[in-house]
Amino acid sequence: MTLTYIDSNIWIYFFDSETPEHRAVADGMRSILLSDELILNTVTVVEVSHYLAKRLTGTELKRRLSALTRLVETNIISFDDILLHRTIDLLAQHAAQTGLGGRDATILATMAAYDADCIVTQDGVMKKVAADLGFTVIDPLSG
């Protein structure tokens, strides 16, 4: 089974039907949610929570976040010292040359530490660095 990381922007488009990207992402996510094992780190959960908290009532926010955590119940990875050092290493190797950001580096560090296979993202820098690191990249918004 493929171990897949879904980037925060994709979760946001998936949960927020008001975004123009929602339909394409929702269609593309169906097969991934049914076939792949998912992984997330706590940084991504907080990022998605922050976005949704600005748009949803408390009850609806909790309902959607509960759905998110149920989808990846056993694979929510706490951001610890080991991931912190892996993140710093990735930033040292890629940030100046590619513009890789800190939160994206936490994702790639998590993927590397837990032997993930694939990332779902539409972020250009993330796609490039992830591919350079040997991860399969899926962009549900391209073509």
Please give the tally of structural domains in the chain.
Answer: 1
Strands (E), 1-143: 3-6, 37-41, 76-77, 118-120, 136-138
The pTM of the full predicted model, rounded to 2 decimals, is 0.93
Mean pLDDT per 10-residue run, the chain (143 residues)?
95 94 92 91 95 90 86 83 98 97 98 97 97 97 81
Amino acid 74: pLDDT: 66
Task: Give the CATH number, domain containing residue 124.
Answer: 3.40.50.1010
Residue 101 lies in a domain: yes
Does some domain include residue 132? yes
Residue 124: its pLDDT value, please? 97
Residue ranges making up the domain that contains 15? 3-138
pLDDT at 73: 57
In a domain? residue 59: yes
Residue 58 falls inside a structural domain: yes
> What torsion do the CA atoms of 111, 140, 35, 8 make, to the nearest 10 degrees?
40
Q: Is residue 143 part of a domain?
A: no
pLDDT of residue 66: 87
